[in-house]
A and B are shown apart, each in its own frame.
Chain A
């Protein structure tokens, strides 16, 4: 553990320690492996989920939420701090029209491509060349949102 790089509570929040940076990368690799091995990144699994043909995806998402919820409960209850010695707090994502409209648009894209944002990266890493189109589309969608954001209800 890079103790020398451990930031103090007064440090800028944007300043990341070497340890935190390395952790983020390793957790990313871990998650990328999981996206492939769980088949969450497989178009057919997503399709079967939306067809209600198999419980696989529902069970994975449900278990993941349950475990994350239990972890957050314990972290809050036991006031567990981060390795950097900071209190762990969640910044709530607020409600606005986009949660509904954007949410449905994303859901449609998820059903068409068989990928949500994380699995797009895992598919590219796995050598699925066509996933580059999904990624290019996602970047175009993000740029379009940047362009029209001031005109959209939030």
Chain B
């Protein structure tokens, strides 16, 4: 059982992550997607917001997204605390600085703005969308990579 405490091989991870899609729709009638949780939290924090995006949001109907991400957070804790032989380093040490914090805040901004504008992220578009043969989701995924590659190989390489 030692392997459980090590990082899991790609095929175990890929199969089990993919299983999330049928599990969610069979057990809970939900389509797998994570970034709607941001809108849900925004709508719950500001129910009387003047922005339609928040005040017209169906808070009850999307409450599950909040429960789901609370689960993901607990899962992150369980995996690091009980299922890892060595301490898990998710972010490089260099991020532990004011400049690193600014980078994460700015990158996070792009994640929040971008996923909501695109209508989904890696889960809702790349996994659920493509799995349902939804072509805009394939296009979205290609754009995710275009943006990421531009930062890694282009201008971002100098800035970050």
Verify A109–B119 contact, CB threshold 8 A: no
Verify B152–A106 contact, CB threshold 8 A: no
Verify B75–A105 contact, CB threshold 8 A: no
Most-contacted residue by chain A among B16, B22, B104, B145 (CB, 10 A):
B104
Verify B148–A110 contact, CB threshold 8 A: yes
Given known A-B contacts A30-B20, A93-B125, A104-B150, A71 and B156 have beta carbons under 8 A apart: no
Verify B136–A71 contact, CB threshold 8 A: no
Given known A-B contacts A37-B8, A103-B147, A117-B111, A131 and B91 have beta carbons under 8 A apart: yes
Interfacial chain B residues near A43, Cβ < 8 Å: 90-92, 95
Measured CB to CB, the nearest residue on chain A to B135 is: A95
Verify A100–B69 contact, CB threshold 8 A: no
For residue A5, CB closer than 8 A to chain B, the reply is no
Chain A interface helix/strand/loop/mixed: helix
Question: Shortest distance in angstroms between A123's beta carbon and chain B's nearest beta carbon?
Answer: 5
Interfacial chain A residues near B144, Cβ < 8 Å: 103-104, 106-107, 110
Q: How far is the CA of A84 from the CA of B116 in the complex (A)?
A: 29
Interfacial chain A residues near B118, Cβ < 8 Å: 98-103, 105-106
For residue A14, CB closer than 8 A to chain B, the reply is yes
Give the total of A residues in contact with B, Cβ under 8 Å: 111
Given known A-B contacts A67-B18, A101-B117, A117-B35, A141 and B63 have beta carbons under 8 A apart: no
Given known A-B contacts A105-B113, A145-B117, A111 and B152 have beta carbons under 8 A apart: yes
| CB proximity to A under 8 Å, residues B20-63 | 20-32, 34-35, 37-39, 41-42, 49, 51-54, 58, 60-61, 63
Chain B interface helix/strand/loop/mixed: helix
From B24, B74, B114, contact of A107 by CB (8 A):
B114
Measured CB to CB, the nearest residue on chain B to A137 is: B108
Measured CB to CB, the nearest residue on chain A to B11 is: A63
Verify B91–A123 contact, CB threshold 8 A: yes
Verify B16–A112 contact, CB threshold 8 A: no
Measured CB to CB, the nearest residue on chain B to A20 is: B28
Interfacial chain B residues near A146, Cβ < 8 Å: 39, 42, 49, 51, 53-54, 116
Q: How far is the CA of A118 from the CA of B80 in the complex (A)?
A: 16
Verify A68–B128 contact, CB threshold 8 A: yes
Question: Shortest distance in angstroms between B139's beta carbon and chain A's nearest beta carbon?
Answer: 6
Most-contacted residue by chain A among B24, B53, B114, B129 (CB, 10 A):
B114
Besides A64-B17, A107-B144, 15 new A-B residue pairs in contact (Cβ under 8 A), listed by A number: A20-B30, A24-B27, A27-B71, A31-B17, A37-B13, A38-B10, A60-B13, A69-B130, A102-B118, A106-B121, A107-B149, A114-B91, A120-B111, A122-B79, A144-B112
